Amino acid sequence: MKRTTIMIAGLALSAAATPLLAGEPLNLYVKGGLVSSQGDTRDMTNKGHGYTLELGYMGAPASWDGLQYRVYGGMVTIPGDSGFSPWLRVDRGNGSETIPYSTYQALTPSQQSGMTVFERKFSYDVRGNFFGFDMIHSVKVGNIPFNVFLGPSLHQWFVTRVNPNEAQGDRNWRAGWRVGLGYPVAKNVEVNLTYVFTEWRSKDAATMPYEKGGNPSRPAYLTLAGAYRF
């Protein structure tokens, strides 16, 4: 995974330097929009929505025969459901049962050691930084123009358990991919739908009880956003 991370970072940096070395004008853009959590992200947050902000620039080298590229960086935030009641699935020697986490906390250390915790469920705030590189191809469906894009990305996740609050996992950069479809509504304005799939794992993934979406975890999300190029 470290090799993949280095390759993606090198690709993004090389693309970032292209317009500077070639003397191309920088087509800067800013993008913001809503996030819909998917897969493990929904399991972690117990919530369906958040927001994202992104900055970057686009280029279209003459030798690329109409293809464009985009180099970008940004952040995404999907708050966890603060009203969710965490629970544990335990075995006290007479079969499995589900108990509230507050009940487990109220037990004495000897009572806790007398049971096996094999599954748990909490709510987490999921926030992250990212940067990456897209290839963009313009197509037409009938007379309607679209921009199809695909590219690798890198993500740094900051995951915090809610009630009780506790930082989780590591903050190493992880590889991801995104694919999307853009619709230009004006000369410098585009609305796009993007799907992002990434990776994140807890520090104690080998020893902690099973947790759907959290052990291991591969966050994914959809964004519906507007971008303005200037």
pTM: 0.84
In angstroms, the CA 82 to CA 51 distance is 17
Bridge partners of 75? Answer: 53, 129
Q: Please tell me the predicted confidence (pLDDT) of residue 21.
A: 47
pLDDT tens readout for residues 153-177: 999 999 999 987 888 877 889 999 9
Give the pLDDT confidence score for residue 206 in this predicted structure. 58
- Cβ pair 154, 171 in contact under 8 A: no
The amino acid occupying position 34 is L
* pLDDT value of position 35: 98
Given a cut of 70, the residues of the chain with pLDDT beneath it are: 1-26, 62-63, 202-207
> Do strands 189-197 and 96-100 pair parallel, antiparallel, or not at all (unpaired)?
unpaired
The residues near 13 (Cβ < 8 Å, ≥ 6 apart) are none
**Block residue for tokens 């000369």:** 187
